[in-house]
Structure 1
Amino acid sequence: MKVVYVGRDESARRKWVSRNDDILLLLYDRWDDYGFKTRFPTFCRVDGEELELGAIRILFQDNSSSHQHLSQLRKDNWDGVFPIDRENYISVPEDVTFYEQLQGATSDEETLAIAEHLRDASLFVFEREDQEAIKLTDTDGFRNSLQRERGSQKSFADVWKVLSGSALGVSDLTFDFRDVLGDLSTLTLNFDSQSILPHDINVLIGPNGVGKSWLLKQLVRAWLLPPKQADELDGAGFKEKPNLSQLVTVSYSPFERFPVDADDEPALDQRLQDKDVYRFFGFRGRPAPEKGKKPRKTRHSLAVPRINAATSLMSCLTDDLRFSGMKQWANKLDTLHRVLGKAMTFDAAALLLKPEAPIADIIIEDPLDDLQVIELDRNYDNPGMYLPISNHDGVLNIDLLKSHVDYEAGVTFFDGDEPVSLSSGQRLFLYIVINVIGVIRRNSLVIVDEPELFLHPTLEIDFVTMLKKVLRTYGSKAVLATHSPVTVREVPSSCVHVLGISDDELAITSPPFETFGGDVQRIASYVFGDRAVSKPHESWLRELLEEHGSAEEVIALLDEEINEEIIIQLHAMDNGKWF
């Protein structure tokens, strides 16, 4: 496969495309990273099929505008084909999937050759230890352009592993933050453990007011702001660059104030190209901008979770189409069925189509010749035509489908031709799972703030169980901020971080006993103090004892409306042995 720079030269682009060879073209982009113009969108074709690889940044020694430099080389009779002799340059793709997709579409050997032609920084620094490449990584151009965005940082850290066939993973994360008392504190999230116990999830727990959500908001800001703006964080930040591809935040608290997207971070002095490097799900959202217009204002609405879920289900479909050729790709729609199928019975997750939707044009190929849609009449809450997404066998016109989905209707689950009835809590629970699966990348960090808000204890456990399955499938990790001992019981004590204020200082400790599968009352007692496990009925019993004088009198009074535990408790109280 040839790697060719064509820039803005449309005639050169047409010439190379017309050859019908496997080709990777580097196109023009005016994007400016603090004075450095290094970004190249790409066009790639393998075996007649186009690959959506994304962009790549290329930095040349002593040059701030790579496009100008390459255009000058072409004027000097360079044919545009990489590698370029007698030039020192390095490149970093915006996402590690750049090379993973090439591996799936070509071969490991061909992909390695492409990385060599482009002098991939990860390969030439960590694997080849090329001194000229290493020098370029110690420049402002590398720091402020090639490493400005989180996806590029992940690529620099991991592409050499992809090319050598090594496994990718998330390491422990150590984060400095300003606590609620204004002091700098440190939290280490323990993910990289050799223990057989699951370390996919870390939990922050503690009383109200100790700053759990405040800590997570600082972590989000540190993720969004580039190293050049570290001063905006007042000392907060990661000890080392986090080996993550994405941050996903979920919070349905009515009081949360997480950024809804990268554009919602006021201190960010320049927009990010990779909008999916941070995703937020809650009751706030930003309507899709009109083409060519500035981002619209955020809004708070009960419709936002429905819209997000429908959009995320579409993302499952489009990601499966885009990345299915990758060797390590886990089909998202299959994952959705496998994970949610443990909690409920359903055949399909479907989207409501707008009344004018041209169904016959949306479904390009239908092997069963029945258009595979479900129609609900006016006897149902949301009548109309529903297209099953999670198990559709046809070939779909994705662009046409996207424009004809009624996103505000959310996602409807069907058992046969009947919609599955769900409570509001169940629906929100399912939406969270769909959203996470829809946007997750490999090696993501998922933040969930107070997952117990709308979930009863059984759904809490189901949620943690499902989250573990999703995280394991995509090599990702999660942090949960909670007040729930039920959640804590599902993770090892080394992954439990108890926040508390003592002597005007914030203390972060782990329980001195194993919490995984532990006793909920013991966990609550350690986290919140003995009062957390006391029960209001005890005060009522003590009042009865004071009024009637003895345990026997109270027991006789209650007669059959009493159980054995209360009888034991009354006798213990009467004898001064209940504390």
Structure 2
Amino acid sequence: MDVYIRDRHASVTLPEKSYPCVVLERDNWNDYAYYTLFKAQLRLAPGFGLGSVKNLGDVKIMKPNQAEGVDNRPFQKLGSGDRIPTRLLRDVCSLGSGSDYYDKLMQVEMDLAQALLSTLRDCSYLPAVRQRFQSDQCFKISLLRDSEARVLLDTAGARFGGGSTLISSFSAAIKLEGASAAHEFAFDFESLDGVPRRMHSIVGLNGVGKTQVMARLAILLSRFSKQAIKEKRSALQSDDSISPVPSIYSVVAVSFSAFDEFERPTQLQGEEFQYSYCGLQHPQGRLKTKDDLLKEIRAVLVRDMTQDKRDLLKRVLQNLVRVDDLESFVEEPENNKKMYQRLSAGQRLAINCIIHIISRIRPRTLILFDEPELHLHPQLLTGLLQALNEVLEHQDSFSIVATHSPLVIQQLPKECVHVIRRDRMTPMVVKPTFQTFGESVSEITRFVFASPDTDRDYRAVLERMLDDDGGDVEAVRQRFGGQLSLNADMYLESLRTAKDA
């Protein structure tokens, strides 16, 4: 299929033998200095009658390693009315700028639509094109500028018999201030042999950068950054990077810390970027009160909850907290004040959290949860994690949890645990050397949180006691009334064995 280029509002005369063909009109709109936008017109026959011309609308087209600036726009050196050489078309990537583009293509004969998609090298239709371009900065910033574009990339081509691939693994490199190198993460949410990987965890000692990493991940995956908006640039135009862009269409940030660093969008910004924040920080700068949290629950249940989501909420809440009348609590929020007041502070936070997540989640959402263990006792924490896992499974979504709790890590396979360490100013991200799923809390704590310079846990106490008692293990046991825990007793035995060897 021949393709012709023209300047904006210019008319072109086409050779008789060209039909059907495509005419691309240059558009001077740019995405943060990347010029990729064209208006596509399918010419079916000479003339401009209803059956002769099909205006398809906006399509974005880029070339490999395209740099910023209008001079780097594809086909820029061609004159208005020129036919685009086949060799140039073989080296581009395109994606419709909205669903209308593909809807209009569906109105023409299928073989003609397929020919057009192939000629323009549509990356939603041709997986090999997507594979080639998906790590290109222009591709990520311009072609995938908004959430709708990321959905179209995964779904539009399948309407025409093309390949459809969901990306559930990606790498992220995050350079924190003062660090000599970037934190480098590899997240893979694809289940393996039935082992769940929908939830990953970032763990480490205080001061290694977990909270900052979570805030940066929220920016990279939602594209929402107040600083970037102020500077009129893309949030991806920074020292941080993500590759390839995963099939994640919305982001929910959750934190009950008074010191989290997540961006807080306005309602309009949240809708534009498909990003929402749930936490203790009030928009007016203070911490939310108990009444604030109750009002949020009521507002969400009344305004933002479909019946399907209400049913999901009731299913997960019954395993999370005890409420006298769960049906009334969910379906009649104006009457739930007394029930809410009888809940503990931790239960209120857990309920607020799960209600907000369910109200905002849709397929392929990423939940970024910073320190869920705050204010929650261990049983409530594991209940919240189970509820979150059920919601993720129901909505084909994912979560990254930053935590200090070995109970969180205990629920995850080692492939999903990312341990941040720091050697002076050099950051490292490592995986556990043992299977964390179901492992003892003490073993997890020893690997993740123990510091070789300041290791003053129960083992150091046992070593000192054994020294004081002249190596008499039984004397140490008697100090605890003969009731040492299994882990402590095994360690004591290991000290005797080492001494006798």
* Aligned equivalents of 1:176, 1:454: Cα separation in 2: 31
Q: 1:456 to 1:389 in 2, by over 3 A?
A: closer
Alignment of 1:152-551 (within 5 A): 152-161=149-158, 171-179=168-176, 181-225=179-223, 229-230=233-234, 234-261=238-265, 272=269, 274-275=271-272, 277-286=274-283, 299-302=286-289, 303-317=291-305, 319-320=306-307, 331-346=308-323, 388=328, 390-391=330-331, 412=336, 421-502=342-423, 504-529=425-450, 535=457, 539=461, 542=464, 546=468
Q: Output the amino acid matched with 1:60.
A: K
Counterpart in the other structure of 1:562: 481
Q: In 2, are the aligned partners of 1:149 and 1:272 still within 8 Å (CA)?
A: no
Q: 1:141 to 1:311 in 2, by over 3 A?
A: farther
Q: In 1, are the aligned partners of 2:473 and 2:496 still within 8 Å (CA)?
A: no
* Aligned equivalents of 2:490, 2:122: Cα separation in 1: 75
* Aligned equivalents of 2:325, 2:348: Cα separation in 1: 15
* Aligned equivalents of 2:418, 2:153: Cα separation in 1: 31
Unaligned 5+ runs, structure 2: 1-27, 42-46, 60-94
Q: 1:160 to 1:229 in 2, by over 3 A?
A: same
Q: In 1, are the aligned partners of 2:171 and 2:184 still within 8 Å (CA)?
A: yes
SS class of match (1:432): helix
Q: CA deviation at 1:33?
A: 7.3
SS class of match (1:454): coil
SS class of match (1:300): coil
SS class of match (1:305): helix
* Aligned equivalents of 2:239, 2:108: Cα separation in 1: 37
* Aligned equivalents of 1:535, 1:35: Cα separation in 2: 54
Unaligned 5+ runs, structure 1: 1-31, 37-57, 63-75, 100-111, 264-270, 287-296, 321-330, 351-387, 393-404
SS class of match (1:204): strand
Is 1:116 the counterpart of 2:35? The answer is no
* Aligned equivalents of 2:419, 2:431: Cα separation in 1: 6
* Range 274-283 or range 467-476, more displaced: 274-283
Q: 1:515 to 1:145 in 2, by over 3 A?
A: closer
Q: CA deviation at 1:152?
A: 3.1
Q: CA deviation at 1:308?
A: 3.1
Q: In 2, are the aligned partners of 1:59 and 1:142 still within 8 Å (CA)?
A: no
Deviations 1:152-198 (A, max 9, x none): 32233323447879988551121111035142232111102333111
Q: In 1, are the aligned partners of 2:254 and 2:369 still within 8 Å (CA)?
A: yes
* Aligned equivalents of 1:512, 1:575: Cα separation in 2: 23
| Fraction of identical pairs, as percent | 21
Deviations 1:129-151 (A, max 9, x none): 3424849999x999888743223
* Aligned equivalents of 1:537, 1:515: Cα separation in 2: 21
Alignment length, in residue pairs?
A: 407
Q: 1:569 to 1:151 in 2, by over 3 A?
A: same
Q: CA deviation at 1:248?
A: 0.3
SS class of match (2:261): coil
Counterpart in the other structure of 1:89: 57
Deviations 1:454-511 (A, max 9, x none): 1111111111111110000000000000011110010110010011012642111111
Alignment of 1:1-20 (within 5 A): none
Q: In 2, are the aligned partners of 1:336 and 1:434 still within 8 Å (CA)?
A: yes
* Aligned equivalents of 1:200, 1:185: Cα separation in 2: 21
SS class of match (1:189): strand
